[in-house]
Amino acid sequence: MHIDRESRFFSYSAVPQAVIDPASNRLVAGNQELSRLLGLSRQELEGLRASNLFGDQLPGLITFTQELINRGRAWTDALSILIQGEPVAVEISGRCIRAGEEAHLYLALQRTDELDGHRSLSDAQRHYQSGIGHWNRVARVFQEFERENRLLLEAAGEGIYGVDAEGLTTFANPAAERILGYSADEMIGRNMHTMVHHSHRDGSHFPAEHCPIFSAFRLGTVQTIADDVFWNHAGDPVDVEYTSTPIRDDGVLVGAVVIFRDVSQRKADHRRLLAALDEVESLKHRLEMENAYLQEELSQELSHHRILGHSPAMQRLNQQIDMVAPTNATVLIHGESGTGKELIARSIHEASQRSNRPLIRVNCAAIPEELFESEFFGHAKGAFTGAVNDRMGRFELADGGTLFLDEVGEIPLHLQSKLLRVLQEQQFERVGDPQTRNVDVRILAATNQDLKQRVEEGLFREDLFFRLNVFPIESVPLRERLEDIPVLTQHFTQKICLRSNRQPPRIPLAEIEKLRRYHWPGNVRELENVVERQIILSRGETLRFDTANLDSPVRELLSETALPSKPGLPPAPEGLSDLKTRELELVRQALEQSKGKVSGPGGAAERLGLKPTTLSSRLKRLQLNPHDFR
């Protein structure tokens, strides 16, 4: 009965077991687990050669068997057994039982892979049990913190939450719930970085190892961040500033407490303030440019804009101005040099509803081709070499007002399409800036060229001509309005004497008649220059004009080239026939005396009695560069 019970225990053991007779190399017995392991019935097991179970590992088997017989006990994990012809690593524990001269080996065999799995599970369970203990210990630390500060946590307007050393949330106060949109139950036990701190403001991934909050308990230092974002339950960014303070338990870093504040409103107010400051700076820059432009206009004595004269021709001109000024129609002013085309443009502007905004003038003939776009449309910082700041162009300066394109026929053909687009769409882009800008600008243009002929010659775009020629106005040459010479002469006399602080001289009617008999190829500008020269030369109280001087070949030269003589320039040689050579000589001398200065007091234009725009056109035609005279 006792033997039967032991036999049953052997048969039903949970570990595969075998009894081997080493003398005969026979398997004496094997239990059910061995039968299952080898895939053989118990009847098939009995009588098997023991060495066959271990394949070609006979040397190792002999070594193990000898150790077992000599020492009575042994263990090895260096052997494998054959299962369905495949070697499977096993761990073997054995005992040697002797009965007289006979010895039997009792072996327990277990697959190594199964034992490794059991051990891994055991390690995980131990780690889990240890983690539960650690969590409970950390939880008690934060529970104590929360208990002691409950009133503060509930009343605080700042969000407050705690995280353990794994980044898992341990508590969160009501303000944190309100700001983040999560309940405390939703946050506790979850990784706070993954929930609310996973991305930067631009949406890019924020690695946890770079998180300042985690750095607090990893490095043991307080982390204060003034500009960051948390992501709320709705997936929207919340501008925050926060402090992460490490928490220690018996000197061991166990986590951190984070105090954060929603600064979205403050950030929004700051952004609005910056935008307002940018707008103020832009307006300041614009006003500075407008002021500089107007100062330039004043220095060139363009502040007087009244059109003088009562001749029928001037009455018709004033009627045309009165008709077109209240509209937004584009006006093309055509006429000879010196007839006051710019004066007409200013009169139209001042009689329009845009008179409270500036009239911006552009001398198209004086702009180098490579700077055309920048001058007209402005440029962004860094758009090209020398573009050290953003710069407004003339179109932006004229926004709400009027843009006067003087010498419009001088715009190069390949640049005319860019101008046409702005005229049609009232939109443009600064050089180097993709932003499209809208403007409200009225266009007035002037030329002394026959634009129709230039269109036929392929030098001017027909569509641009039609776009400019909505309302054409012809400026009247002085020879067609001789009735206005008395009032013009008196006006110029008063203006010149006021500027030079002199008492205006008397002008006899006979002298006026001399002026009326002259053909005035230089038009009103020539008349002003003649009056100024005679005032300078006059020594008495009566102003007299030398008819012979007006009719001399030199005078005709100056009139024809719009370059009247001025004090300080040498007289022209008598009998000069090459007018272009003389014109070039006069301009060069004026540039030399002014050291390359074109406009302003003492400039070549003032010395020659010309408008700077007219002189710029002459310089371009004569291929003279003012920089060469500096």
pLDDT of residue 154: 58
Which pLDDT tens digit goes with each residue over 262-309?
988 888 888 888 877 777 766 766 676 666 566 555 544 444 446 888
Residue 408's nearest CA partner among 339, 354, 455 is 455
Residue 276 counted as domain residue:
no
pLDDT of residue 574: 39
Does 316 share its domain with 234? no
Residue 323 counted as domain residue:
yes
Asked if 336 and 523 count as a contact pair (C-beta separation under 8 A), the reply is: yes
Reply yes or no on whether the pLDDT at 320 is more than 90: yes
Which pLDDT tens digit goes with each residue over 234-255?
999 999 999 888 888 777 788 8
pLDDT of residue 135: 53
| CB environment 55-92: b (16+ within 10 A), e (fewer) | eebeeebeebbebbeeeeebebeebbbeeeeeebebbb
d(CA 321, CA 148): 86
pLDDT band at 152 (very low <50, low <70, confident <90, very high): low
Token pair, residue 172, equals 């969160």
Token pair, residue 436, equals 């499209």
pLDDT band at 344 (very low <50, low <70, confident <90, very high): very high
Q: Where are the beta strands (DSSP E) in 84-140?
A: 86-99, 102-111
Reply yes or no on whether the pLDDT at 550 is more than 50: yes
Does 186 share its domain with 239? yes
Which pLDDT tens digit goes with each residue over 180-215?
999 989 998 899 898 999 999 888 999 988 888 888
Does 320 share its domain with 202? no
Residue 275 counted as domain residue:
no
Q: Which domain holds residue 32?
A: 2-117
For residues 117-143, give the mean pLDDT: 60
Does 358 share its domain with 467? yes
- Is the full-model pTM beyond 0.75? no
Does 230 share its domain with 343? no
C-alpha 235: how far from its chain's center? 26
Backbone torsions φ then ψ of 208, nearest 5 degrees:
-60, -30
pLDDT of residue 285: 66
Residue 535 counted as domain residue:
no
Asked if 92 and 76 count as a contact pair (C-beta separation under 8 A), the reply is: yes
The total number of structural domains in the chain stands at 4
Backbone torsions φ then ψ of 364, nearest 5 degrees:
-65, -25
Token pair, residue 469, equals 């020629």
First CA to last CA distance, the chain: 133
Residue 133 counted as domain residue:
no
Reply yes or no on whether the pLDDT at 579 is more than 70: no
Query: Checking DSSP bridges between strand 331-334 and strand 86-99, what pairing results, if any?
Result: unpaired
Reply yes or no on whether the pLDDT at 438 is more than 50: yes
Q: What is the 3-state secondary structure (H, E, C) of 153-209?
A: HHHCCCEEEEEECCCEEEEECHHHHHHHCCCHHHHECCEHHHHHCCECCCCCECCHH
Which pLDDT tens digit goes with each residue over 390-408?
788 888 888 899 999 999 9
CATH number at residue 428: 3.40.50.300
d(CA 187, CA 160): 12
CATH number at residue 162: 3.30.450.20
pLDDT band at 521 (very low <50, low <70, confident <90, very high): confident
Residue 47's nearest CA partner among 28, 75, 66 is 28
Domain boundary among 117, 139, 168: 117
Which pLDDT tens digit goes with each residue over 411-426?
888 889 888 988 888 8
Of 36-40, 148-152, 195-199, 247-251, highest mean pLDDT: 195-199
pLDDT band at 137 (very low <50, low <70, confident <90, very high): low
For residues 67-81, give the mean pLDDT: 89
Does 246 share its domain with 385? no
Going by the DSSP 8-state scheme, the letter that residue 379 receives in this structure is: E
Asked if 47 and 26 count as a contact pair (C-beta separation under 8 A), the reply is: yes
Asked if 307 and 340 count as a contact pair (C-beta separation under 8 A), the reply is: yes
- Higher pLDDT residue, 368 or 1? 368
Residue 261's nearest CA partner among 208, 224, 293, 220 is 224
Does 458 share its domain with 337? yes
- Higher pLDDT residue, 322 or 132? 322
Asked if 64 and 76 count as a contact pair (C-beta separation under 8 A), the reply is: yes
Does 448 share its domain with 577? no
Longest dimension (CA), the chain: 169
% pLDDT > 70, the chain: 83
**Burial (Cβ within 10 Å: 0-12, 13-18, ≥19) of residue 154:** exposed
Does 566 share its domain with 448? no
Token pair, residue 380, equals 């962004």
Find the radius of gyration of the CA atoms of the chain.
52
DSSP bridge pairs for 510 = none
Does 180 share its domain with 322? no
pLDDT band at 567 (very low <50, low <70, confident <90, very high): very low
d(CA 86, CA 39): 12
**CB neighbours (10 Å) of residue 463?**
13
The per-residue DSSP string of 6-27 comes to HHHHHHT-SS-EEEEETTTTEE
- CA distance readout (Å), 602 to 303, 419, 587, 597: 19, 34, 14, 8
Residue 371 counted as domain residue:
yes
Average pLDDT value for the chain: 81
Domain boundary among 117, 133, 162: 117
Reply yes or no on whether the pLDDT at 621 is more than 90: no
Domain boundary among 117, 135, 169: 117
Residue 488 counted as domain residue:
no
Residue 287 counted as domain residue:
no
Query: Checking DSSP bridges between strand 17-21 and strand 26-30, what pairing results, if any?
Result: antiparallel
Does 327 share its domain with 455? yes
- Per the listing, tokens 């702009």 go with 367
Does 365 share its domain with 470? yes
For residues 9-20, give the mean pLDDT: 85
